[in-house]
Amino acid sequence: MAWLGEHRAFIVEFIKNGGSPVATQRAFHIRFALGPREAVPDKKTIYLWVSNFRQTGQTLEALKEAIRQEVAAITSKMVLKLMDNYREATSFYQYSRPPLE
């Protein structure tokens, strides 16, 4: 299952409020109305999400969203300028090399 930001945030909040990983898994089942055999994040994943949150102050989904926003801010004008700069740089090196024999 692909875990969403909502899932990650729930895990981090539950652990911050003193929950253990097993209690977190049980609460996860209840909160997201999962069936008894449906998957929940394992202990390793829970610890990873909490560790990432403690290091960065954000869940992985929040970081991905920040990156998406930065990428969306790149305009076509910026891309064209970058392409022109690349063409100029490669054409300079292309003509400055000694010819191959």
**Which pLDDT does position 19 carry in this prediction?**
74
Q: Please tell me the pTM assigned to this model.
A: 0.50
Does 96 score more than 60 pLDDT? no
Does 1 score more than 70 pLDDT? no
What confidence category does residue 70 fall into, taking pLDDT thresholds of 50, 70 and 90? confident
Does 17 score more than 70 pLDDT? no
pLDDT higher for 54 or 25?
A: 25
* Chain mean pLDDT for the chain: 79
CA–chain centroid gap for 11, Å, is 16
Does 95 score more than 60 pLDDT? no
